[in-house]
């Protein structure tokens, strides 16, 4: 199993540009989520999904959209990039069961917005 | 929303046992307590999870008192490679949704 994969590893955007960060998992996990981590800070939840077709907002959803058309994929879209979105983005997945909080994290995407 | 409080940083020396305590006063009845480890430039990695009393695996032990309002992660005989940030998480005790909230974590520095 590849686990959780994220692409790209690095990305530089100009203010106002849009892009999609890709996330895929091959463990058949129901639950997937996106976090951002600013330098020296903990992770903050952006959006999450408890299954295909179901998404919900986390702590910091503004400026981001998600969709979950398949169990495997959970892309994160930046609608109009802003310098405040410069961060490292992590995708994670975990098995079904809302008390099962063992999440598997991807390697991250480092995004810089100029 | 269930909140956790951890020390911001801790120092230790190789070979010592390290105990990191997390407070979670409003933990819900069905919530589990989970600890993650994060190295620089990597995603967090699951260490251990428990509900009550004591849980032990090949990496760490987790001690949870009867009232479950705190928990202690114990790392036996740490090495330099245990230098990392450690996060304590509990479930959302208010609305039973499945999101997870990370706090700032505890930055552990192991010295030679």
Contact B44 A45 (CB under 8 A): no
Residues of chain A neighbouring B28 (CB-CB closer than 8 A): none
**Cα B4 from Cα B100, distance rounded (Å):** 12
The rounded percent of chain B whose pLDDT value lies above 70 is 90
Tens-digit pLDDT profile for residues B75-99: 999 999 999 999 998 875 344 455 5
Contact A90 B103 (CB under 8 A): no
What is the residue-level pLDDT of chain A in tens, covering all 114 positions?
A: 789 999 999 999 999 999 999 999 999 998 899 999 998 888 999 999 989 999 999 889 999 999 999 999 999 999 999 999 999 999 999 886 545 568 899 999 999 999
- Please name the residue ranges forming H helices in chain B: none
Contact B42 A31 (CB under 8 A): no
Residues of chain B neighbouring A48 (CB-CB closer than 8 A): 98-99
Dihedral sign, CA of A60, A61, A64, A67?
positive
| B12: pLDDT strictly greater than 50 | yes
**Cα A101 from Cα A93, distance rounded (Å):** 9
| B72: pLDDT strictly greater than 50 | yes
Contacts of A68 by beta carbon, 8 Å cutoff, 6+ apart: A32, A49, A51, A52, A53, A54, A55, A74
Contact A106 B43 (CB under 8 A): yes
Test the A interface: residue of B100, B106, B107 with most A CBs within 10 Å: B100
Residues of chain B neighbouring A60 (CB-CB closer than 8 A): none
Residues of chain B neighbouring A106 (CB-CB closer than 8 A): 43
Q: What is the DSSP string of A74-110?
A: --EEESS--GGG-EEEEEEEE-S-TT----EE---EE
Q: Which residues in A have their CB inside 8 Å of a CB on B?
A: 4, 31, 33, 35, 41-45, 48, 50, 56, 58-59, 90, 92, 98-108
Q: What share of chain A is helix, strand, coil (3-state, %, to 5)?
A: 5, 50, 45
């Amino acid at each position: 199993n590849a686990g959780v994969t994220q692409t790209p590893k690095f990305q530089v955007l100009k203010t106002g540009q849009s892009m999609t960060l890709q996330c895929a998992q091959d463990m058949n996990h129901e639950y997937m989520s996106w976090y951002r981590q600013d330098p020296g800070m903990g992770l903050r939840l952006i959006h999450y999904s408890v299954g295909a077709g179901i998404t919900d907002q986390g702590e910091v959803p503004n400026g981001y959209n998600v969709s979950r058309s398949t169990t495997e994929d959970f892309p994160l879209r930046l609608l109009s990039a802003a310098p405040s979105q410069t961060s490292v983005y992590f995708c994670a997945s975990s098995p079904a069961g809302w008390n099962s909080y063992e999440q598997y994290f991807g390697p991250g995407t480092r995004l810089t917005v100029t | 929303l269930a909140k956790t409080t951890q020390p911001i940083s801790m120092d230790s020396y190789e070979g010592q046992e390290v105990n990191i305590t997390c407070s979670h006063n409003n933990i819900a009845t069905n919530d589990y307590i989970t600890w993650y480890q994060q190295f620089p430039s990597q995603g967090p990695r699951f260490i251990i999870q428990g509900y009550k009393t004591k849980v032990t695996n090949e990496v760490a032990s987790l001690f949870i008192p009867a009232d479950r309002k705190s928990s202690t992660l114990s790392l036996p005989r740490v090495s330099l490679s245990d230098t990392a940030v450690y996060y304590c998480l509990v479930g959302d005790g208010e609305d039973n949704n499945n999101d997870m909230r990370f706090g700032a974590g505890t930055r552990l520095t192991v010295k030679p």
